[in-house]
Amino acid sequence: MLALLVVALAGCSGELPPAADPGPLQQRPNPTTTLDLRLPPPLAAAVADGPRRPRTAAQAARQIVAAEQAIADPSTPRDVLATAGRLQQLAYRELGTRPGWDAAVADRVPDRLRPVVDDNVAARRAFRSMHTRLGDTLPTWHIVPPAPAGRLRAFYRAAERRYGVGWEYLAAVNLVETGMGRIRGTSTAGAQGPMQFIPSTWDIYGEGDINDPRDAIMAAARFLDAHGFTEPGGVARALYRYNNSDAYVRGVTHVARVMERRPRTFLGYYHWQIFFLTNHGDVLLPEGYRAERPIPVERWLARNPQG
């Protein structure tokens, strides 16, 4: 099994109909697009102009604080929550490449957020270390909307109840492998579906449709359970069997730990977008991106300039 995309934020067979989100993570439709004037300035600006990558450590810290506060607040409207997730992602991606900012950011975030920042940045750096060969073309993927957040979390919870694998780890794997199902495509190793199973592995642990989110999440839990996830000290061993990389194990664990401490962070991660790392830097692949053959990065950027 091989990660198709490490997003640190990174295909399913069809969109699912909307469903109400369950439990404490329920999102209610926002009946108005009027902005709350009490939004922190970085978040208000992002809502108005779109999230942007921070250019200084101080800006990164402000973006993180604004985004994390919005994600943690159950009253945050859905559209603002989406913006907060994207703002959060951009800040952590930038911090992942700028260790010189660490001290300045730590000085500017509240103590309660420092473990969150540390885990997210450590995850980003772990995943980035796995990319040792970058290219000049974009992949033959189709980027689609994911299944509703509430439905995905219900699948994670059902798998946790049945197999004992923490829902946070299943969500982290789903995020890292395909951006929670945004990517439809096959990896160079032949892995498929939202949890990226090689067909031969699916034959052992899968039931149903490899591209169906529920079936794939259940299969991932079945795989991790079979490889000792619930045994003492078994989490790292099971994750290593999922992807034979110590960096992968560290990255997934950091992301899962954030959700263990702050479950609503899942709703931020849910809105992370697909970035593909190339010799020309990060390239955003928006929903609707579709390539039947590799696309030269320079040609794509000329037609789709990045913000």
Indicate the SS3 state at residue 227.
Answer: coil
What are 121-145's pLDDT values in tens digits? 999 999 999 988 899 999 999 999 9
Residue pLDDT, tens place only, 102-117? 999 999 999 999 999 9
Is 236's pLDDT higher than 60? Answer: yes
Position 22 pLDDT exceeds 50: no
Looking at residue 136, the DSSP 8-state letter turns out to be: S
pLDDT of residue 1: 55
Is the pLDDT reported for residue 20 higher than 50? no
The pLDDT assigned to 105 comes to: 97
Task: Quickly state the pLDDT bin for 44 (edges 50, 70, 90).
Answer: confident
Per DSSP, the three-state class of 281 is: strand
Rg (the chain; Cα; Å)? 18
Number of helices and strands (H, E) in the chain?
13, 6
pLDDT of residue 287: 94
Determine which of 30-44, 84-98, 281-295 has the lowest per-residue pLDDT on average. Answer: 30-44
Q: What is the model's pLDDT at position 133?
A: 87
From first CA to last CA, the distance across the chain in angstroms is: 34
Virtual torsion, Cα 282, 156, 113, 66, nearest 10 deg: 60
- pTM of the shown model: 0.87
The whole-number pLDDT of residue 23 equals 36
- Please state whether 288 falls in left (phi above 0), alpha (psi between -120 and 50) or beta: left
As a whole number of angstroms, the distance between CA 129 and CA 150 comes to 32
pLDDT category at 38 given cuts 50, 70, 90 is low
Residue 266 · residue 25 · CB < 8 Å? yes
Ranking 42-56, 83-97, 161-175 by mean pLDDT, the lowest is: 42-56
Q: Is the pLDDT of residue 249 over 70?
A: yes
- Inform me whether the pLDDT recorded for 70 exceeds 70: yes
Span 257-268, average pLDDT: 97
Mean pLDDT confidence for 262-280? 96
**Residue from 211, 237, 212 nearest 226 by CA:** 237
Q: Provide CB contacts within 8 A for 231, sequence distance 6+.
A: none
Please report the pLDDT score of residue 145 as a whole number.
96
Q: What does the alpha-carbon distance between residue 210 and residue 207 come to, in Å, rounded to a whole number?
A: 8
Is the Cβ–Cβ distance between 147 and 12 less than 8 Å?
Answer: yes
The pLDDT score that the predictor gives to residue 252 is 98
Per-residue pLDDT for 307 more than 70? no
